Structure 1
Amino acid sequence: MSYRLKKTVVLVGMMGSGKTSVGRELARALEAEFVDSDEEIVRASSYEIPELFSRFGEVYFREKETQVILRLLKGEPRILSTGGGAWMNHANRINITRLGLAVWLKAETNLLWARVKGKSGRPLLATDNPYQTLRELCDSRNPVYARAPVHVAAFSSHSVADTVRRVIDELSKRNDILEETGERTG
């Protein structure tokens, strides 16, 4: 079956939950554009994310993030991967709820840690105990992520393709997001 997106699907969740990898494959499966809000922020500012944080601070970064997400939501329906803190912002939640659909890629802390440990470019984990910081971020953010209308669990035993299929299954239950267009031709 082939589908057409009616609204932008916004992937939210913690760093390492698979928003970018799942988002790319989901966009391919739905024949939609994929956009990563962090990549768009870098493009708009000419600074990498860690440099934005260190030069201007998290508040400045979050303001730019909100501007970029709103611009992307106003465009054609697409798959949008957001940074881990984007859904924490009240204005982002309102904009995403009004103009798109949030899908929470939910993952346990140990899986997230396995995916992010040792990787640079995670300014929030630049602490003395990054695992503890990640756990605390999960504890504080998960109740807010849970406000997303769609939840899809990410497991280490599932491939990206498995997760994409589960996201499509959830989206197909909602007639406000996907429209069936017939059999896939390619």
Structure 2
Amino acid sequence: MANIVLTGFMGAGKSAVGRKLKELTGMEMVDTDDMIERDAGMAISEIFEKFGEGHFRELEKKAVEKASDLKDCIIVTGGGVVLKEENINNLRKNGKIIYLHAPAKVLYERIKDETHRPLLQVDDPLLKIKEMLLFRAPFYANNDFVIDTANMNVDEVADEVIKIIKK
């Protein structure tokens, strides 16, 4: 079976759906953000603070390269992984890319109380989400499948992913 690659903005449900898919399928799951934190020995928020987003994106590229070589795996990516075409090409080598979509307001409601999101440490996080979604829209469009998670729970999204993969 091809890798199941979950992309989408922060708050779209990638990690929760990945864990549910692992439970349902028995497939191994890797999270590129977890790989980065483990390899760097620090939290993503610390990487952003100490070294900036550019350095983080380079670490992310290396994590994607490693994850892309795996087989029969669920790969949960960070929200900005789509910004580098090289990442998408690597992920597509052994996998199907599924974009978990939700509108800005839904994403905001899901993540507004989380303090570990470095890109949202701004005065108006909802506006920032809207701006980032607009900028990333053409990148997120480079996927194999889209699931709108706005009105779905984790179980429903995972079931939809399984239906897609079985086609």
Same fold (TM over 0.5): yes
Normalised-by-shorter TM-score class: over 0.9
TM-score (norm 2): 0.96
Aligned to 1:165: 159
The 5 A counterparts of 1:36-51 are 36-51=31-46
| Range 57-66 or range 141-150, more displaced | 141-150
Per the alignment, in what secondary structure is the counterpart of residue 113 of structure 2?
coil
Unaligned runs of 5+ in 1: 1-5, 174-186
RMSD: 1.0
Per the alignment, in what secondary structure is the counterpart of residue 101 of structure 1?
strand
Match 1:35 to one of 25, 30, 34: 30
- 2:136 is matched by which residue type in structure 1? R
Match 1:74 to one of 69, 90, 110: 69
Percent pairwise identity: 33
Aligned to 2:90: 95
Unaligned runs of 5+ in 2: none
Shift of 1:76: 3.0
Q: For 1:24 and 1:142, how far apart are their aligned partners in 2?
A: 26
Give a deviation string over 1:3-22, Cα, whole Å, max 9, x none.
xxx22111000000000000
Q: For 2:111 and 2:35, how far apart are their aligned partners in 1?
A: 21
The 5 A counterparts of 1:7-156 are 7-156=2-151
Shift of 1:98: 2.0
Say whether the 8 Å CA contact 2:68–2:93 is kept in structure 1.
Answer: no
User: Which structure has the bigger radius of gyration?
Assistant: 1
- 2:82 is matched by which residue type in structure 1? W
Q: For 1:80 and 1:116, how far apart are their aligned partners in 2?
A: 21
Q: For 2:39 and 2:72, how far apart are their aligned partners in 1?
A: 20
- 1:162 is matched by which residue type in structure 2? E
Provide the aligned length of Structure 1 versus Structure 2.
Answer: 167
- 1:171 is matched by which residue type in structure 2? I
The runs of at least 4 aligned residues of structure 1 exceeding 4 Å deviation read none
Shift of 1:99: 2.7
Q: For 2:8 and 2:33, how far apart are their aligned partners in 1?
A: 14
Q: For 1:170 and 1:11, how far apart are their aligned partners in 2?
A: 12
Q: For 1:20 and 1:172, how far apart are their aligned partners in 2?
A: 21
Tell which has more relative contact order, 1 or 2 (C-alpha 8 A, sep 6+): 1
Shift of 1:101: 1.6
Return the structure number with greater helix share: 2
Per the alignment, in what secondary structure is the counterpart of residue 86 of structure 2?
helix
